[in-house]
Amino acid sequence: MTYRAPINDILLSLNHGAGLAAAVKAGHYGDFDGDITAAVLEEAGKFAGDVLAPLNKVGDEHGIKLDNGTVTTAPGWPDAYRQWTAAGWNAVSGPEAFGGQGLPLAINAACTEIWSASNVAFGLCPLLTLSAIEALDAHGSDELKAIYLEKLVTGEWTGTMQLTEPNAGSDVGALRTRAEKQGDGTYRIKGTKIFITYGEHDMTDNIVHFVLARLPDAPSGTKGISLFLVPKFMVNADGSLGARNDIHASGVEHKLGMHASPTCTMTMGDKGGAVGYLVGEENQGMRCMFTMMNQARLGVGLEGVGIADRAYQQALAYAQERRQGKAVGRKGDGMDPIIVHPDVKRMLMQMRSLTAAARTICYATAVALDVSARATDPKVRADAAARGALLTPIAKAFSTDIGNEVAYLGVQIHGGMGFIEETGAAQHYRDARITSIYEGTNGIQSIDLVTRKLGANGGASVWALTEELSGIVKQVETSNDPAFGTTGAKLRDALAALDRAGKWLLERLATAPNDALAGATPYLRLFGATLGGCMLAGEALAAKAHGDSEPQRYVALARFFAENIAVQAPSLEKTVTDSADAVTGADAVLAG
């Protein structure tokens, strides 16, 4: 089946759940005209449904081929990429000075969800280009920008992020790729990178690699890492392509999913070293890379949302068509569609509500990043930056965790057919699996949340957020809408649990950091469940207030999430606060 972008849900989430409308109204988006949002998303949905979605399965089945350093993508992919750039989709949020449309990240976030839902392996390529654009724009010299930025913004060339090496994965500081300065100001780079997404492909004439490497006298660890721009083909003064640079795909991985996305081993130095240009300062590469990674992390979170929505749409359609058994109490012959069975309804509601919650968390992250860059008031910018920093690990980890869970349920609803590759449900399940690993494993995100985001300012960013959420819960309680069921009580309990767990973690961070680290993953889940629950409740209230034609379905969705997902908060709190000894004392068990 194909994919239809859920424009109504997206708009409600973006404008009201994530706060875009309020931020625009408050003037934080300058002269951005919020009225165009719907039109952009409608067009994105059309492109995704018409061009990208039909290639999703083709890509999975054909995969990619590496032959003598050249990667061939699946049939139709290079053409789809050309259509993509021609329609301007690569340039949505790119800087206007370099050919971009300068639209908010929040709009692009919704687009990213749509690309990921229609064809996640395709969408991954521009996602990385986007990160490259951001790093180059923020840290590159004017010369580098003049040559490379517009090509990346339009998508005429794509970008890669090259961090990982065989012995440097989560521990980036351990990387060994070497860069030596040449007399002409360039650098010669030698080394091997692995797991490089779209490190080589046939969709564009050139590829712009962003490579982390170490200078000869650099300090050890992350303090001695520099970022280099390494083009596949050198660029002449007139912008034409010159010599082939000494960076080559020497292998591709055979992966569980994302078959259409080439995951390359990149070798530099077979012919004396790849020519690289320093981006930012020497030994400041991690700082530059973090610029790229935050954007990329949000993007990966949106992949989780997109895969989840696609899996949901497919499972819903199947459940509406497939007939097995009879509804309880129905007389007469014949079978009913399986959607009548409460257990199937439960799975579908779980899929939809988890997806909706993750969507709004991601969009809210994008709005915060927008406001941090666009607002005029420095206090507003600073607060938004703190909010964006806080939300990023949750957007990445919660959304990709639920992406996997939702794809799992999508297979389950298909029964035996779900296990058959032809059905397509299994592809979502396989594709989703990498999202909780790459761009920082979800464990790393949890540690980031606890140590850097909660810990950085004594929890101030967290308390500011939960106070806002508490306001939403109060509105639910005073709405007296019986359709909310026990939503208010469940969210109130969840907020209290989140609050206590956060305080406990702050205290342990100071006195027993391993205890805090042991609780990081359940804390992130607790945070996501509470935040998502409050946001969905806020959207339901907004749907009622803004005259949605069927606001009660958003109330029902928020209620389901509160009563089934947010309700886990008190147990998750206890997992954080009561189980540190069980975790840190695991050595005897694991040794035997």
Supply the DSSP symbol for 565: T
Supply the DSSP symbol for 224: G
Closer CB to its own copies, 126 or 410, in the complex: 410
Closer CB to its own copies, 149 or 339, in the complex: 339
Closer CB to its own copies, 79 or 321, in the complex: 321
Closer CB to its own copies, 171 or 468, in the complex: 171
Closer CB to its own copies, 101 or 412, in the complex: 412
The label of the residue with tokens 């140590």 reads 451
To its own copies, the closest distance from the beta carbon of 390 in angstroms equals 19
The label of the residue with tokens 């919660």 reads 398
Amino acid found at 335: M
To its own copies, the closest distance from the beta carbon of 167 in angstroms equals 8
To its own copies, the closest distance from the beta carbon of 150 in angstroms equals 32
| Catalytic-residue membership of 281 | no
Closer CB to its own copies, 287 or 574, in the complex: 574
Closest of 568, 536, 566, 569 to residue 553, by C-alpha? 536
Amino acid found at 132: A
* CB count in 10 Å sphere of residue 143: 10
Closest of 134, 128, 29 to residue 370, by C-alpha? 29
CB 265, CB 255: distance < 8 Å: no
C-alpha angle 398-402-404 in degrees, rounded to nearest 5:
125
Provide the H-helix boundaries in 71-104: 77-86
The label of the residue with tokens 């590759």 reads 421
User: Helix, strand or coil for residue 577?
Assistant: helix
To its own copies, the closest distance from the beta carbon of 304 in angstroms equals 14
To its own copies, the closest distance from the beta carbon of 27 in angstroms equals 34
Which residues are CB-contacts of 480 (< 8 A; sequence separation ≥ 6)? none
Amino acid found at 32: F
Closest of 529, 406, 537 to residue 484, by C-alpha? 537
Which residues are CB-contacts of 236 (< 8 A; sequence separation ≥ 6)? 242
Of the candidates 113, 165, 303, 439, the residue annotated as catalytic is: 439
To its own copies, the closest distance from the beta carbon of 288 in angstroms equals 21
Closest of 320, 314, 353 to residue 339, by C-alpha? 320
Closer CB to its own copies, 39 or 588, in the complex: 588
Amino acid found at 221: G
To its own copies, the closest distance from the beta carbon of 63 in angstroms equals 12
Compute the distance between CA of residue 558 and CA of residue 564 in angstroms, rounded to an integer. Answer: 10
> Would you name the residues annotated as active-site residues?
439
